[in-house]
Amino acid sequence: MSATIVIVGYRAYEELERCLASLARHEPGTPIVLVDHAADEVRGRRLAAAFSAVLYEPRRDNPGFAAGVNDAARHADPGPILLLNPDSEVTAPVVARLASALDAHPHAGVVGGLVREENGSVQASARRFPGLTTGLGGRTSWLSRVAPGNPLTRHNLTTDPAGGVAPVDWVSGAFMLIRRETFDVLGGLDEAFFLYWEDADFCRRARDAGWETLYAPVVEVTHFTGRASRHAPIRSLWAFHASALRYYWKHGSWLARLLSPVVAAALAGRFAWRLLVRRT
């Protein structure tokens, strides 16, 4: 299947240049649609012109990651769409092997590869859908940082690169191949999510529509986490918590929604704490 690589950029031009250079080495000829939010258009056009596979789409505003992906999809070829963060680099061909996983699993609508951090460690990019234990055992929780082998973290996160291709609840949008039929049937990503959790939401809607999500650690990228969000750190931090609340409300039962004020207060407290830690 012929795929299009979709990148949504936000000011991280140095990281974006390294990303595009890695794709030119390992994915020559694969079309790339680059949507550049809050664009420095002179710099962005100069950068895109250095890579012949890139279609450059600048925007003066920043409507969020999901909106950028949907915008890029309108300019993409009819095949699958590979979402790739601009602060990522590939070290080998990735599209064909991920597309092969979709070919081999007709009921799969999404497949994510292995994501490594800058230090070489494996990022938990395959996870269970958010639930009651996510706040304690999620990827960014205190417990997962200090005791990554605890039962709650093992319950929420998948990191085993030796496990082979396997179904999971959801995979990170930092490195995610989406079957075009799945994308179109679901109407793309939910643009009400400005940043974060739109990938979990998409995979959940895909599951509800009968599609599987796969984790395929047969290919990998290196993700220099946070290089893009550092250009708007407070807004990114707020978006993380606001999107978590939106996901909770959107997919929660009526009983869960009755408890939404408690959840909102807990998320607001977490945001305040993380903001205080950041500033000190």
The answer to whether residue 227 scores a pLDDT higher than 70 is no
User: For residue 103, how many C-alpha atoms fall within 13 Å in the half-sphere facing its CB?
Assistant: 10
DSSP 237: H
The two tokens of residue 66 are: 């999901």
The answer to whether 150 touches 143, Cβ cutoff 8 Å, is yes
| Beta carbons within 8 Å of 269's beta carbon, 6+ residues apart | none
Question: What is the per-residue pLDDT across 232-259, written as a single tens digit (0 to 9) for each?
Answer: 789 999 999 999 999 999 999 999 999 9
CA angle 31, 106, 175 (to 5 degrees): 40
Average pLDDT over every residue of 212-231? 86
Question: What is the per-residue pLDDT across 140-188, written as a single tens digit (0 to 9) for each?
Answer: 776 677 777 777 777 677 766 666 899 999 999 999 999 999 999 999 9
The answer to whether residue 137 scores a pLDDT higher than 90 is no
4-124+159-229 belongs to CATH 3.90.550.10: yes
Q: From CA 233, how far away is CA 92, in angstroms rounded?
A: 31
Q: Residue 155 has what pLDDT?
A: 67
DSSP 64: -
Helix 233-251 with 198-208: angle, nearest 10 deg: 20
Q: Residue 194 has what pLDDT?
A: 97
Closest C-alpha to 168, from 136, 221, 125? 125
The two tokens of residue 209 are: 């529509």
Question: What is the per-residue pLDDT across 4-58, written as a single tens digit (0 to 9) for each?
Answer: 999 999 999 999 999 999 999 999 999 999 999 999 999 999 999 999 999 999 9
Q: Residue 151 has what pLDDT?
A: 74
Q: From CA 89, how far away is CA 124, in angstroms rounded?
A: 17
Q: Where are the domains of the chain?
A: 4-124+159-229, 232-280
CA angle 195, 200, 201 (to 5 degrees): 85
